[in-house]
C-alpha cells in the first residue's frame, strides 16, 4: 500500500495528474499497478486524508491539490487534534496515576495484553481508542472522559493512518505499556512523561508521512492479497 501511495502521490506532485483531473478508475489502477482493490483503496483513502484528492460518489476520485496538506481525521486536522491531546491527555495521565483504582489497572492491563496479541489491525485500532478512554476514566473526572469521547472517531482514523503509513503499532504498544507501568507505580511524573513521549512520537510520525514523497514507481509483481 505504501508503494502504491508513493507512486500516486508522486504522480500528482509531478503534475502527471493535475488539479481537477480525475484519477483512472479503480479497475484500471489495479491492473496498471498490479495490486488488489483493497490495497488500492487504502492508498486512495490516504491520498484523501492528505488533502490531495476527493472522492465523489459515482464519479470517481479527483485531484484537488498538488502538495500534501496537514492530514484531516474526520472533522479535525492533525494539528488541532494533537494540540488538544497535549492539553488534555498529558495532565489526565498525571491525575490517573494519583487516582486510579485497582479495577482501572486491571482493565488497562487486560486491554493492553489483548492489544499486544491482536492480529486484526481494525480491532487493534478500536482497542487503541478504548485504551485512551480508559486512561481518562482512571483520572476520575467525567469531563475528561467526555472530551476523549468527542474526539474518539478522529483518534481511530488517526491511529489507522499512522499504522498503515508509519508502522506505529508496535511502538504504540510499548509506549502504552510504559504508561500503564507508571500508573501502577502511582508516579504522576512518570505518567506525564510517558504520555508526553507517546504524543511526541505521534507528531514525529505524522511529520515524516507528510514530508515530500519519493517518486519511485511501485515494484511490479503479482497482486497483493
Q: Are residues 40 and 133 in the same domain?
A: no
Q: Does any domain span residue 111?
A: yes
Whether residues 86 and 173 share a domain: the answer is yes
Same domain for 52 and 148: no
Work out the average pLDDT over 87-104: 98
Q: How confident is the model at residue 224 (pLDDT cuts 50, 70, 90)?
A: very low
In a domain, 216, yes or no: no
Identify whether residues 109 and 180 lie together within a single domain. Answer: yes
Residue 150 lies in a domain: yes
**Model pLDDT, residue 190:** 98
Q: State how far the Cα of 98 lies from the Cα of 48, in Å rounded to an integer.
A: 41
pLDDT of residue 67: 83
Q: Are residues 151 and 194 in the same domain?
A: yes
- What's the 3-state SS for 204-215? HHHHHHHCCCCC
Q: What is the pLDDT of residues 108-137, one digit of tens each?
A: 999 999 999 998 989 999 999 999 999 999
Q: What angle do CA 204, 123, 225 make, to 5 degrees?
A: 85
- Structure confidence at residue 216 (pLDDT): 47
Q: Are residues 41 and 81 in the same domain?
A: no
Verify that 86 and 140 share a domain, yes or no: yes
Buried-state track 167-190, b at ≥16 Cβ within 10 A, e below 16: ebbebbbebbbbbbebbbeebbeb
Whether 184 and 82 map to the same domain: the answer is yes
**Is 223 within the bounds of a domain?**
no
- The domain that holds 64 is classified in CATH as 1.10.10.10
Domain assignment of residue 214, yes or no: no
Based on the fold, state whether residues 111 and 42 are members of the same structural domain.
no
In a domain, 218, yes or no: no
CATH code, 92: 1.20.120.530
Residue 53, domain member (yes or no): yes
The tally of domains found in the chain comes to: 2
Picking from 34, 69, 104, the residue at the C-terminal end of a domain is 69
Which residue range is the domain that position 61 belongs to? 2-69
Mean pLDDT of the chain: 89
Tell me, yes or no, whether 200 lies in a domain: yes
pLDDT band for position 212 (cuts 50, 70, 90): low
Mean pLDDT computed over 84-93 = 97
Q: Please check whether residues 63 and 114 belong to one and the same domain.
A: no
Reply yes or no on whether the pLDDT at 220 is more than 60: no
Question: What pLDDT shows up at residue 223?
Answer: 43
Query: What 3 state SS string does 103-139 have?
Result: HHHHHHHHHHHHHHHCCCHHHHHHHHHHHHHHHHHHC
106 & 141 share domain = yes
* pLDDT tens-digit series, residues 37-88: 988 988 898 898 888 888 888 888 999 888 888 888 988 999 999 999 999 9
Statement to judge: residues 62 and 85 lie in one domain: no
Amino acid at each position: 500500500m505504501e508503494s502504491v501511495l508513493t507512486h500516486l502521490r508522486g504522480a500528482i506532485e509531478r503534475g502527471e495528474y493535475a488539479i481537477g483531473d480525475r484519477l483512472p478508475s479503480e479497475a484500471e489502477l489495479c491492473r496498471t499497478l498490479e495490486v488488489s482493490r483493497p490495497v488500492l483503496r487504502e492508498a486512495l483513502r490516504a491520498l484523501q486524508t492528505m488533502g490531495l484528492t476527493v472522492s465523489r460518489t459515482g464519479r470517481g476520485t479527483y485531484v484537488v491539490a498538488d502538495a500534501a496538506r496537514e492530514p484531516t481525521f474526520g472533522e479535525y486536522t492533525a494539528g488541532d487534534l494533537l494540540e488538544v491531546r497535549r492539553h488534555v491527555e498529558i495532565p489526565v495521565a498525571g491525575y490517573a496515576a494519583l487516582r486510579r483504582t485497582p479495577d482501572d489497572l486491571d482493565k488497562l492491563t487486560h486491554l493492553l495484553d489483548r492489544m499486544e496479541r491482536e492480529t486484526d489491525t481494525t480491532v487493534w485500532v478500536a482497542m487503541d481508542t478504548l485504551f485512551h478512554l480508559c486512561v481518562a476514566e482512571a483520572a476520575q473526572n467525567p469531563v475528561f472522559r467526555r472530551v476523549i469521547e468527542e474526539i474518539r472517531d478522529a483518534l481511530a482514523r488517526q491511529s489507522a493512518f499512522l499504522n498503515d503509513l508509519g508502522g506505529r503499532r508496535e511502538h504504540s504498544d510499548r509506549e502504552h505499556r510504559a504508561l500503564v507501568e507508571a500508573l501502577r507505580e502511582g508516579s504522576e511524573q512518570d505518567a506525564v512523561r510517558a504520555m508526553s513521549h507517546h504524543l511526541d512520537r505521534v507528531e514525529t510520525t505524522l511529520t515524516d508521512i507528510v514530508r515530500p514523497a519519493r517518486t519511485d514507481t511501485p515494484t511490479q509483481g503479482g497482486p497483493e492479497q
